[in-house]
Amino acid sequence: MDLNKPLQQLLTEGNSIRASARILNMTYKNTYKKFLWLIKQAKVTRERLIFSARQIYFDEMETIHHTKCKPLSIAVAVNEDYQILALQVAEMPAKGRLARFSVMKYGPRKDERDSVMGEVFRCLKNKERHRDRLHEKLHKKRFDPLFAVNQRCAKLRSDIRRLTRRSWCTTKKPENLQGQLDLYIVNQFGPAFS
């Protein structure tokens, strides 16, 4: 029985790897190996995706890398049809009351947010069809102009267990978070594998 498609669905609908293993009656180790294979397939598929958009909305959401002292930022780009076009993970320093403690315990952290956002812009510009340039600034409208991206960020928190606030599930490896985000993007268009 092929478990790739059910596993992809479970991982993008609010289940952790362990919960997916229980549901599919698999061992955690095998489920994790399948997860790593799926994210490799998703990365290849994601690089081939072409899209068209009249408007593109950008924002960032924050999550953690195992502890609140090691925050991560996720650059998000969404089109007017609520399709997620890009999700890119960046390391960032802790802020507020945790900043000093974070530096004492884990050392100074890089701030990759600007470079990652620039990478997202370049990627979108190269993949975008029927447009000459991206619009970062929006005209003021009567409704919230960032509703599309905020709605997608809320959906991401709901659908990816490690992004849920106040959860036992946390990201242990940022590269696996990036892989799961790639899997989520590809899942909008169908399975990540042939």
Interatomic CA distance for residues 189 and 45, integer angstroms: 10
Interatomic CA distance for residues 106 and 126, integer angstroms: 37
**Tokens matching residue 180:** 């799961």
Spatial CB neighbours of 95, under 8 Å, sequence gap ≥ 6: 71
| Least-confidence region, from 33-42, 45-54, 64-73, 90-99 | 45-54
pTM above 0.75?
yes
Q: Please report the pLDDT score of residue 142 as a whole number.
A: 60
Q: How do residues 160-179 score in pLDDT, each as one tens digit?
A: 888 887 777 788 889 999 99
Q: Please report the pLDDT score of residue 112 as a whole number.
A: 95
Give the residue from 115, 109, 34 showing the smallest Cα distance to 65.
109
**Tokens matching residue 123:** 């990627």
Q: Please report the pLDDT score of residue 133 as a whole number.
A: 44
